[in-house]
Amino acid sequence: MLGLMAAATMATAQFSATYAFGRQPQFTGIDISPNGEMIAVGYYDPGEQSIRIYDLARDEILDSWEVEDDSTKSVFFWKRDDLLVFGTQSLKSRKHIAYGVSTLETKTPGEPDFKPLYPGLLNAVLDKDNVLSRLSQDPDHIMVVYKPNLRSWAGVYKINLDDPSEHEEVIKPTAGALGYMSDGLGQIRGRIRVQQQGYLVWSLKKPNGGWRNVSRRIRNDEIIFEVYGFPKDLRYAYVGSNHETDTEALYLYDIQKGKFAEQLFHDPASDLYGIVQRVSDGELIGVKYADSRVRIHWLEDEEEKHRTELLRNALGADLVQLIAITPDEKTAAYSVLTGSRPAQMVVFDLESYHYYELPSQYPELDGVELGKVISTHYKARDGLEIPAFVTLPKGVRSLSEARNLQFVVLPHGGPHARDFESFDWLSQFLSWRGYGVLQMNFRGSSGYGQEFQEQGEREWGQAMQDDVTDGTRWLIEQGFADPDGIAIAGSSYGGYTALMGAIGQPDLYQCTISINGVTDLVELIKDTHPSRLRITRRIIGRLWGNRSVLQSNSPTSGASQINVPVLLVQSERDQVVPKRQAVLMRDALNAAERDVTYVELPNGSHYLNVGHNRITMLRAVEDFLYKCMDEDASKY
């Protein structure tokens, strides 16, 4: 694809590590026109975010338009060959409280005009890009969920794309309604509501009408009940649950009877990571699970399995996932993951079995040696085995070669999340700069079953923190790390862990970096939305009953115990961890006369996906580590 390749080649003319690793991925999504002749991609280029339309046969750009600097593309898809639907989101703030504003519009390729889908009074609606169903069988409408005014609850509406002033009410706003679920044909099959007490109520639509409440109140012994999708048969749903197992199994759930009808898949070492459904009818054909990487277990020996495995083998890939496919199933787009390389997108002609690769997501890294990622494990002090990943500095190809290296310990956020043996832009940047990187899935991480996750409940700053400390000491005991050359860093919960590491282990780390990190647990619980309050109490603690523990395990309370340099990086409009958290920590460190550097990312989100914020953050991290670690580690 010469037109696409030219853009990538120009970008690699002058290599900058902070830009090469910190840039947004070049393609932030892809969709194929119904006739298979065009693709639309979300595109990132230096100083520009845009949506581009390419003619596949002629390999040229047909249309392109920019997304505003402080906005991000949220959704785009072809509705007809002459009509693309797209949405963008931006962050605003009022009285220091960040909130999101989104839009939804249509555009005809080659035409200059944009058509907003919320004209008139509906401009008061903030959440305008929540597309419930593309209504694949209806070329003129889509189905969306929104609140008609700020005080209302959510309803479901069908929008006429040719006359956007026409919003047909499908389900009127219902008290407590937050959202809905639909199947591939646009039939509404699920609903989520919030009660006054803060409970979330999940319901599934019965085939003969009415709703089946499938919620579980949040208790210490609560089982998982997660809806992954719906088959064509209205009687059933595909549901993940661990009511019979420790790790999550997949079931066919009988909605009418309120019973689990059949167990379809279970892996004793992994929870579920999604399902693969046949595009034509929604039937289940594969299940995603994980070891060190995400895998697909195929349930049927059918065409989609054959296509996916053909691509995986041809490209030497670990995982190939379908992103988009035309209604006639003649052309498809796939995401390809291979080792520690960035993901790549592939367009596949399903008739000729010819495929062509789009340029790399990180084109400046083409041909660059990346750090080797090694899956390993270590034992925590109580004997619990902790899965971990070591990214080695460039030039070091095995753990046996890793001797007395400088390391950055990088615990993940969440904490109900996990790391994989795959490309991670931050750890790879640190590797390029000469550091080894340790990432661990400490107790409380998701993906390993209920028992492993529950061992992290109310263990913020305690057993979960010990797992990180034990991993650092393991690096030293194995001879991998220089005991006088270890930093700790992290984002979100990982940023909290980095600060607590400096407080609890004053002689273990040379410096600490917190990116959008939690610093005050009491304030965090105060800011929690009522719908999340009960689960927050369970995993962190109660505001009053556990107040002394929360305060003692808050980095702000231990600021005076930190005796190493601290870097605080905070996104201005973070909706997950409010900016106030970083400001409180900065002020506490200043009051204690500690060495603190504070960097604020303008208009930034929690996920560092606005403008050049990731690049700005990497520059701050690079300079900070250079100053607080031995300069030998930064020779490159």
Identity of the residue numbered 341: R
Strand order of the β-sheet with 236-241 is: 225-229, 236-241, 249-254, 259-265
Q: What is the pLDDT of residues 172-225, one digit of tens each?
A: 998 888 889 999 889 999 998 877 655 678 899 999 888 988 876 444 445 788
**Could you tell me which residues come within 8 angstroms of residue 439 by beta carbon, excluding any fewer than 6 positions away?**
388, 389, 390, 391, 410, 411, 412, 419, 424, 427
> What whole-number distance in Å separates Cα of residue 544 and Cα of residue 448?
31
Residue-wise pLDDT tens digits, 222-247 = 578 889 999 999 999 999 999 899 99
Provide the mean pLDDT of the chain: 87
Amino acid at 31: D
Tell me phi and psi for residue 536, to 5 degrees.
Answer: -65, -40
Q: Tell me: the pLDDT tens digits for 394-449?
A: 889 899 999 999 999 999 998 989 999 999 999 999 999 999 999 999 999 999 99
Average the pLDDT over each of 4-8, 128-132, 348-352 and give the range with the smallest value.
4-8
Q: What percent of the chain has pLDDT over 90?
A: 54
Q: Which two tokens stand for residue 401?
A: 């070669």
> What is the average per-residue pLDDT within 447-457?
92
3-state secondary structure 339-361: CCCCCEEEEEECCCCEEEECCCC
Pairing of strands 481-491, 511-515: parallel
* Poorest-pLDDT segment among 165-169, 195-199, 371-375: 195-199
Statement: residue 12 has pLDDT above 50? no
pLDDT digits (tens, 9 = 90+) for 143-162: 999 888 777 888 999 999 99
- Report the pLDDT averaged over residues 117-132: 77
Which tokens sit at 550? 């929360």
Residue 452's pLDDT is 94
Q: What is the pTM of this model?
A: 0.89
Strands of 460-565, DSSP E: 481-491, 511-515
Closest CA to 378 of 356, 350, 409: 409
Per-residue DSSP letter, 267: B
The DSSP letter of residue 368 is P
Read off the pLDDT of residues 581-629 as tens digits, 9 standing for 90 and up: 999 999 999 999 999 999 999 888 898 888 789 999 999 999 999 999 8
Question: What sign results for the dihedral spanned by CA atoms 546, 547, 550, 552?
Answer: negative
DSSP 8-state assignment for residue 369: P
Higher pLDDT, 304 or 172: 172
- What would the mean pLDDT of 342-364 be, rounded to a whole number? 89
pLDDT at 467 over 80: yes
Cβ atoms of residues 38 and 372 within 8 Å: no
Distances (CA, A) of 184 to 137, 313, 372: 10, 29, 40
Q: What one-letter code names the amino acid at 283? A: E
